[in-house]
Structure 1
């Protein structure tokens, strides 16, 4: 056999999660796959339900390459739908359950999904925007005690439980290779219309290999999933990989700090993905740092800038938060800070993943810059999306001729190759000719006593072009003034970066992934006092 023969290449390996779950159903059928308040599932039960739903979908005309959407909170039905779609070679489209009507239409229409699985709590908003989409078949989850059920089956909807009960489980599982599309995830759209990021089975597989190489994950691990799993960080960090490796997922619909802590202890959780706001809330629980959390080996914090003070607080109690950076387009992790560097590189998003290249370039010239110089972060590797769904213009704009994906994030690499995130390129404020990166100001203010949350945005200013505005939420009874903000940040920031205006709000807008929603923040400013 000659070198380079396809049999040697590995490109014919089946990397579908559905095939892995089916394998576990045969070899460890009674092992617990999903622990859920509405009912646990073994691997045999999970595989059987996915196989039955695959029959239902196929009977409705779903074929390889078709899109199957899901609208609802974290639940086994989300994962069953994903696995059923993959059994058929179809593409799974998870939908942000917090979207309003126009936003929902703006995702469903370009996805081209003809079939959707939906929870009752989201049916009304979906029905209001179904016209103009490709949707033809509507399946309603009705057998989950955690999901409110419709009193009678609504017209035009088929109930999930009856369909699964009547269907014969299909034995067929489509062979899925590295380049086959697995998921379309729509970006949050906080800076414009959302784009459908295509993630292939290979993108997901290589991300898993990166995670397994860098983090202390093991076969049979227990992972906790409470961050919304329609988001790439929550889905692809540990959840899918844990199931593929035969472990258990503790799946929760919504974050409750006390319940989360109880789960960590009761089920001896080994890993979880979180956004910073979750860990900040957890740290407020009385006695949290006296609790035995010794089973935790891998805590990845991402999705929004992580205040160094939060990392230090946990480290002081022997709990190591591992910061990572990436995007939906990188499936999700491009960098990760190894646990042994947590304090030495406090605030860093880490080093490039083993099978991923990361470079900093001058945004205008697209040429590499030297260590310590800020520029745009670009990424290349097998975990990076091939492009955007039916959007060649956006794909072309995101990739250069050498295959580097341009993230739109600004950062720098230090002399040791560790990445430090500065901000989003589009969020940069130019005040008096000087560049101000809002994330830098937000970090400088994050540990101010009485401050709950902060967003920094620019506002038009006749003298400076733009001026720095702080939009803050404070604890009850706190009286934080503009002078207080400026004094607190003055030891860390140049004067031109300090806020010149202050607006106090009840809640600083964030999207479902924990990122600041700068579009909504600016609307608050436009609304006036």
Structure 2
């Protein structure tokens, strides 16, 4: 490699087990190398190895529900649930949807489904009927796990709407023309007619089912698909990002190494982020399975006070979150709490100031669902300039390059272009959508992130913008095309364009710019009422502006960047 570097004048790889201190990168291509090999393990094998090491250590704590499970207890529950799923007729490769907030059953069935070779489908608990119908049909879900209700969501009522007559059907043999592959609904709390209760699953496994489960382990491959996470695209229709055991086991493993989980006697992580998102299911749950860390879930729904109490009472030393969540934490009277357990990097510890400093100098993570998700992560000992101005250093066993989006040619080091990723972390593809897969993964397996970024000579990345028009509202990714398509259904709407506008707390808010049909009148409130109960609450436009025209390019395309600026000016943002 040294001779090759001398011949070409290019430094192409960088050892990333510790922070690079010497600027060696000479082009906008990097390969993160490591002394640690990729793990050739399934999700189940990863958890079982950790159970052997730390059987009596707490694995998960769900404070609102009063649930505490050691690794040994979690493993026993996983085995019971996995055998129960087999007993109820689910087989390797079937899809199980989890449509729920942060409850113990989410983690339990994540690992139970993986042990049974069943592909877990993560469903956003904010989904309304049409959204859940589309996702269940897209991946042919055979089973769905959910609570009966959560906040204003009525999961069982919506599923009854999709499965008329379910109350009189045998619980594991339901039939519906709208979701023809769905056979069973498993409810986590109350018993419902025509539906199974989670206790039924836990008790269904008999000796032959446990034997089937054990025999299956040698047949499962770490390259098998094991998780489908839905993400939207410019078409507005969600796409099923399909991830393998290999994808998520290794992403959780190398994230933990980067964070230093393996070198600490105990790690307790406060997890307010949702499990349906890869932040929860991989960065939290898979790091738990591989590294033996303890996950503390403060509440089923996000609650900043519950987070503060959890950090103090459970002595959490790491806190996961989005920028909005951290801003919410800092808005409280922190003097009332003891945060001496929280990691504060190279700064001294000391009550509430620890939390404030830790948030100010927190480690930034960057990735996409399609990359399992992480590709750049900072080191705890990074200096302030790197923490403030980059999204971290390239992850181990990951390649990254920056190209001109028009030509595909690499740009000079430090120049901006489209960030592309290749490595073990790249998804298998979008479920049953080879055309969309080919749009984002090249023939030579480079994933096109759609983000504009640049690399520095230390292998750190700076994200400078988005090629796509995605809106990020409080950590939720929102795709304008999906909202635009929905609003076009309103009989008075002629045309609509959706942009993200600045918001001090959430980062961005959804702004709908609406052109009405001639002679029609409509109010912003009527637009929002039209959306309620039909699309997720966070997608409902916060601002509705009625316009006569849109800024256009010479070829007639709408200039969304100019439209965004116009709306921010009009709104005084």
Q: 1:160 maps to which residue?
A: 198
Matches within 5 A, 1:160-239: 160-165=198-203, 167-168=205-206, 170=210, 172-173=213-214, 174-175=217-218, 176-188=220-232, 192-218=236-262, 220-239=266-285
Structure 1 residue 456 displacement after superposition: 8.3
Q: 2:488 maps to which residue?
A: none
- Conserved? CA contact 2:83–2:206, under 8 Å: yes
* Residue from 317, 322, 341 that aligns with 2:363: 322
Structure 1 residue 160 displacement after superposition: 1.4
Q: What CA distance in whole angstroms lies between the structure 1 residues aligned with 2:259 and 2:224?
A: 27
Q: 1:101 maps to which residue?
A: 129
Matches within 5 A, 1:360-375: 360-375=402-417
Matches within 5 A, 1:38-53: 38=65, 39-53=67-81
Count of paired positions: 433
Q: What CA distance in whole angstroms lies between the structure 2 residues aligned with 1:96 and 1:326?
A: 19
Deviations 1:229-258 (A, max 9, x none): 110122211322123333321123122112
Structure 1 residue 21 displacement after superposition: 3.3
Q: What CA distance in whole angstroms lies between the structure 2 residues aligned with 1:282 and 1:216?
A: 24
Q: 2:86 maps to which residue?
A: 58
Q: 1:501 maps to which residue?
A: 569
Structure 1 residue 276 displacement after superposition: 0.9
Q: What CA distance in whole angstroms lies between the structure 1 residues aligned with 2:567 and 2:455?
A: 27
Say whether residues 1:387 and 2:423 are aligned partners. no
Structure 1 residue 272 displacement after superposition: 3.4
Say whether residues 1:125 and 2:169 are aligned partners. no
Q: What CA distance in whole angstroms lies between the structure 2 residues aligned with 1:206 and 1:321?
A: 23
- Structure 2 residue runs without a partner (length 5+): 1-36, 150-154, 164-175, 346-352, 472-498, 514-548
Secondary structure, counterpart of 1:397 in structure 2: helix
Q: What CA distance in whole angstroms lies between the structure 2 residues aligned with 1:165 and 1:211?
A: 36
Matches within 5 A, 1:422-441: 422-427=464-469
Say whether residues 1:254 and 2:287 are aligned partners. no
Normalised by the size of structure 1, how large is the TM-score? 0.73
Please provide the CA RMSD for this pair: 3.3
- Structure 1 residue runs without a partner (length 5+): 1-9, 143-148, 299-311, 430-437, 472-496, 506-529
Q: What CA distance in whole angstroms lies between the structure 1 residues aligned with 2:185 and 2:57?
A: 32
Normalised by the size of structure 2, how large is the TM-score? 0.68
Q: What CA distance in whole angstroms lies between the structure 1 residues aligned with 2:369 and 2:196?
A: 32
Deviations 1:315-365 (A, max 9, x none): 756863111211001111111122333521323112211211111111111
Deviations 1:59-116 (A, max 9, x none): 2221111111111111111111111111111211121111111111121111111112
Deviations 1:192-212 (A, max 9, x none): 111111111111122123213
Q: What CA distance in whole angstroms lies between the structure 2 residues aligned with 1:402 and 1:88?
A: 32
Structure 1 residue 314 displacement after superposition: 6.9
Q: What CA distance in whole angstroms lies between the structure 2 residues aligned with 1:289 and 1:384?
A: 44
Identify if the C-alpha distance between structure 1 residues 458 and 406 changes in structure 2 by more than 3 Å, giving closer, same or farther.
farther
Identify if the C-alpha distance between structure 1 residues 463 and 97 changes in structure 2 by more than 3 Å, giving closer, same or farther.
closer
Matches within 5 A, 1:270-309: 270-287=317-334, 291-296=338-343
- Conserved? CA contact 1:322–1:342, under 8 Å: no
Identify if the C-alpha distance between structure 1 residues 236 and 161 changes in structure 2 by more than 3 Å, giving closer, same or farther.
same
Structure 1 residue 291 displacement after superposition: 4.0
- Conserved? CA contact 2:249–2:290, under 8 Å: no
Secondary structure, counterpart of 1:242 in structure 2: helix
Deviations 1:17-53 (A, max 9, x none): 3234345555644332211132212223222222122
Identify if the C-alpha distance between structure 1 residues 502 and 222 changes in structure 2 by more than 3 Å, giving closer, same or farther.
same
Secondary structure, counterpart of 1:34 in structure 2: strand
Q: What CA distance in whole angstroms lies between the structure 2 residues aligned with 1:213 and 1:332?
A: 15
Identify if the C-alpha distance between structure 1 residues 167 and 292 changes in structure 2 by more than 3 Å, giving closer, same or farther.
same
Bigger shift: residues 104-113 or 36-45: 36-45
Structure 1 residue 498 displacement after superposition: 7.9
Secondary structure, counterpart of 1:155 in structure 2: coil
Identify if the C-alpha distance between structure 1 residues 277 and 289 changes in structure 2 by more than 3 Å, giving closer, same or farther.
farther
* Residue from 90, 105, 109 that aligns with 2:118: 90
Say whether residues 1:334 and 2:375 are aligned partners. yes
Q: What CA distance in whole angstroms lies between the structure 1 residues aligned with 2:138 and 2:551?
A: 41
